[in-house]
A and B are shown apart, each in its own frame.
Chain A
């Protein structure tokens, strides 16, 4: 009104900042995933372990691993570990099974999501085979023994004597099926 001022440039910059921050909000999603992978925060376990060289087994140490299963809200399936806990040597390849049965009247698809406590232990649990890498589709009454093969890393810190691997089973029948399974991302 009074004089010419270079305000369009200020406005443009501020608008760009606003759009940039909108993008930053979305960028937080992959940043968070990477951050969790590096630190093991939130107990996220890594993807399928494919180390070819055989690790030496640490026969002097025993680590207790406990298995927990939970059903997410409204998930009717029977879901339980075959053994509740194991004592294993670091470096050793172990196998256990989880039992699952569809008790609903319809065919359903499920996805198990793993989580490890304490969080620091998550990066030391290597899974060479896990049912959580894929989805399970079961007809009414159908049951399945699902294998889990894992190695506890030899470098697991000495203060970790027990770690808990917990699976939550989600009903994903309604969700688009082309989504990648969680841990195989």
Chain B
């Protein structure tokens, strides 16, 4: 952060950042905005994590010890909303801001002022969302999937603030995505073709299209809720001619692409890190691009696998079951390619690589439990149990979040100019790795044994595994404070990083000095296309 301030000329493209706090409010620099997104995301990660620890503390033992069931419901809801919309999505947008222009040799994002707006909407959206906890009747208590009419007829009055918060997040995401697409399509260095782009750029291009396609549907569904609550319509109220199941269809039409929005950029990160530390080119670059596109396409036609138990004709169950299983094919291609990249590579195990390998292994476990859930007849047993909780936490925590941490460790020397403390980084990795597995692995067992999700109390037979799970959650949660410490330490001090930082790193971002200057690739002739991707 302690960038050197050069002479300040308004018309000079090479000036440094403005001074003082207002720099961050007015900034249109993609690196500044990337930093803002990442810090915001980390703050939300800690807030959502605190809610998770409230949940795990209550579930440490059977019976009600700490909080009321009504408040417990608010915690599960807010944990989900904050982690999905506040932590994971902004973190990937932050990475896109920092990295996409540097990877394609662009001077900045295509629409810098809009970039500033799309970030600064977020603090307002989440302040509004979090403030509902202090309102009469409490915050949203209907689960992050906010099924109507639970979220309309039976919701606390604060639901209106929740709806507007979702609108704001949606606007922010759509603006951010338009920016990413326009940047990638129009600002690539001269001569760089689409198939020369690093995979992180590819996965973000596809993610951005998904966001533009489905965030408006989410905005639509919350608008229908708003109209049901305040304007006397009956979209989801059977008494007035609506249909509650319609809500689930519209919601999951958004919701399923949404889960890929949270994982595709992670694929891109891992596809950048594994070749570096295996000192080999990525195996099957083109197949990675096609696999990512196929996953994105399939995400639009499988939504009702979240709804196997609502009552569907047999043909519907079969179609959604087979379509869902089909997703395992391109995903399998990806996992195969990562393993093949490591095969006979000259591997070293720095912190980013540890997180990336853990990603491959643990994400695959989460994917396989997803495959179990896709079996429609078996899903009747798994639906709404802790097995589902275990499944999506395996793909989101050691999936998305591990990839974000891997990305931070991998590119941190480029951002700050200093190497992070490798010993502390590895300690953080092992604490997180053990914490995640101790937390979520037992949840498979209690789920299969029949423990429902979103309950503050449970039968005695589930007591042991819940206690183990809670211990793991506290271990994982508190080890993230170590992450915070490592990042701050790296910003302030540390061994100076070289331009290439990692021995095996290839890509345009490694051709510029560390820390990355405030303005990069201002002229197209600064770009050496031979380094475009590893």
How many residues on chain A are close to B (CB under 8 Å)? 47
Q: Give min CB distance, B374 to chain A, whole Å.
A: 21
User: How far does the alpha carbon of A14 sit from the alpha carbon of B249 in the complex, in Å?
Assistant: 24
Q: Does B108 contact A (CB under 8 A)?
A: yes
Interface residue B379 (Cβ < 8 Å from any Cβ of A): no
**Considering the chains assembled together, what is the distance between the CA atoms of A180 and B524 in angstroms?**
64
Task: Give the contact stretch, choosing among A17-25, A51-59, A138-146.
Answer: A17-25
Contact B215 A176 (CB under 8 A): no
A-facing residues in B423-479 (Cβ within 8 Å): none
For B230-252 the 0/1 string (1 means CB < 8 A from A) is 00101101111101011001100
Is there contact, CB below 8 Å, between A22 and B217?
A: yes
Given A6-B186, A11-B178, A175-B232, A32–B243 Cβ distance below 8 Å?
yes
- CB pair A2–B246 under 8 Å, yes or no, is no
- Whether A18 contacts B313 by the Cβ 8 Å rule is no
Contacts of A98 in B (CB 8 A): none
Cross-interface CB contact of B13 among A1, A22, A33, A42, cutoff 8 Å = A1
Main secondary structure of the interface of B (DSSP, over half): helix
| B216 on interface, CB distance cutoff 8 Å | yes
**Closest A residue, CB atoms, query B184:** A10
Interchain nearest-CB distance for B255 vs A (Å): 13
> Is B107 an interface residue when CB atoms closer than 8 A count as contact?
yes
Pair A72/B523 contact, Cβ less than 8 Å: no
Q: How far is the CA of A176 from the CA of B243 in the complex (A)?
A: 18
Residue from B107, B174, B218, B240 with most neighbouring chain A CB atoms (10 Å): B240
The reply to whether B239 and A113 contact each other, CB–CB distance below 8 Å, is yes
Which B residues are CB-close (under 8 A) to A44?
A: 243
A11, B224: Cβ atoms closer than 8 Å: no
Select one of A18, A20, A28, A119 contacting B253, CB under 8 A. A28
CB distance from A63 to the nearest CB of B (A): 20
Q: Which residue of B lies closest to A24 (CB)?
A: B217
Is B298 an interface position by the 8 A CB rule?
A: no
Closest to A14 in B: B178
* B52 partner residues in chain A, CB cutoff 8 A: none
B241 engages A185 (CB within 8 Å) = yes
Residues B311 and A119 in contact, CB atoms below 8 Å apart? yes
- Which residues B185-243 have CB closer than 8 A to chain A? 185-187, 212-221, 224, 232, 234-235, 237-241, 243
Interface string of A1-38 (1 = CB under 8 A from B): 11101110011001101111111111011001100100
- Other A-B pairs beyond A42-B311, A111-B240, 17, CB < 8 Å: A2-B522, A2-B524, A5-B110, A14-B178, A17-B212, A18-B174, A21-B214, A21-B220, A25-B217, A25-B221, A29-B250, A32-B246, A41-B312, A43-B311, A175-B239, A179-B234, A185-B241
- Sample of 27 A–B contacts (CB below 8 Å): A2-B107, A3-B524, A7-B111, A10-B182, A10-B186, A14-B212, A15-B178, A19-B216, A21-B212, A21-B213, A21-B217, A22-B216, A22-B220, A25-B224, A25-B253, A26-B220, A29-B246, A29-B250, A32-B243, A33-B243, A39-B313, A41-B312, A42-B243, A111-B239, A172-B240, A175-B234, A179-B234
Interfacial residues, chain B to chain A (CB-CB below 8 A): 13, 107-108, 110-111, 154, 174, 177-178, 181-182, 185-187, 212-221, 224, 232, 234-235, 237-241, 243, 245-246, 249-250, 253-254, 311-313, 316, 522-524
- Seen from chain A, the residues whose Cβ lies within 8 Å of a Cβ on chain B are 1-3, 5-7, 10-11, 14-15, 17-26, 28-29, 32-33, 36, 39, 41-44, 72-73, 111, 113, 119-120, 168, 170-172, 175-176, 179-182, 185
